Every structure is written in structure tokens, then in C-alpha cells.
Amino acid sequence: MKIKSSVPFFLELTALVSLAMALSFEIFAKGITLEFPLQGGRIDYKNYSYFSHMVFGYFPVPMITGIMTALALLLIVLDIILKRNKQIYKATFTCSVLAVIGAVLSITVANPINICVTILLAISGLCLLGVGKKISENSVVE
């Protein structure tokens, strides 16, 4: 089912930009801090990217967040190309929500980069929610 182009394009574009920025932070910045304990109560702090296998080997949530972000980005691009398909929108929104949940759960191993990622994912989620509202409004009109 195609949705009328009255859905504000800028919301989708904002979501796309936010997701792209979040994904680049997840890949290129070391947004996850693991705390390795040493004998005597000392801690060895190590920073990793969301996609590091080291992070996955200790706390899988950040990598799942990263995968969901990448999927949401891919789907939103597909959604724009296919001129807003309702099914693809639903999948995009689900991935985006899962990414936000993952980012929030990852706050236990957070550093400032992780906070930025969480904010960017939340922005994209809110924009997609706005797109969804417009889609339902249009469906009612139709």
C-alpha cells in the first residue's frame, strides 16, 4: 500500500540523518566502556566500538543496538525509494524502537559517545513516530 506524499518529508529526512549519525558514531567512535576488574579492587577501563567482538563477548546488547540501527537506516532509505510503503515503515519503526531500547540498556556501559548515540536514536524514533501519525491520518482520509 502506497502512502500519499503529504507525509512530511523532512521528518523522514531528519530520522535518516539521525540514524546515519548514530550509526557512524557506533562504528567509528569508541562508545562502549568495559570495566575489567583487577585484583585489589582496581579497574582497567577499555573503550570499544559498538561492533567490536570484545563488546559482544561480554555484553551483547550494544552490538544488537548497532545492528538494529543499521537495519533501520537501510529500511528508511528503502522506504524513501519506494515512496513510503506502510509495511516497510512498520519494520523501520520497530527496528528504531529496538535500537533505542538497546541504547538505553547500554547506558550501563556508557561514555559520552553512547549518550549522543542514545539521543540521536531517540530523535529518529520520535521523527518516525511523527511519520506514522501522518500515515494513519492519511489512511483515515482515504
Partner 1 sequence: MTSLVSEGWALVKNYSFFTNLASCGYCEVNSNGNKVFSGGNGICGYIAAGMLVTYDSVINGKGYISSVYYTKNGDEVSIKSTLPYMLYKKGEALGYGTDTTSVEIHYALKSFFEVRNTSVNHVSYYAPLANNMNIANYLCDDRPVIWFGMISNNSFDTQKKISHAVVVYGYKMSILGQYSYIAHFGWEGANTVSFSGVIGSMYTYTY
Contact residues for partner 1, defined by CB under 8 A: 34-41, 43-44, 46, 53-54, 56-61, 108-109
Nearest to partner 1 of 51, 58 (CB atom): 58
Nearest to partner 1 of 2, 53 (CB atom): 53
Which distant-in-sequence residues (6+ apart) come within 8 Å of 62 by Cβ?
A: 26, 31, 32, 50, 55, 56, 102, 106, 109
Please, what is the minimum distance in Å from the beta carbon of residue 55 to partner 1?
8
Please, what is the minimum distance in Å from the beta carbon of residue 111 to partner 1?
13
Nearest to partner 1 of 11, 109 (CB atom): 109
Please, what is the minimum distance in Å from the beta carbon of residue 106 to partner 1?
11
Please give the C-alpha separations between residue 5 and each of 8, 67, 74, 126, in angstroms, as whole numbers.
Answer: 8, 29, 20, 19
Please, what is the minimum distance in Å from the beta carbon of residue 42 to partner 1?
8
Nearest to partner 1 of 11, 98 (CB atom): 98
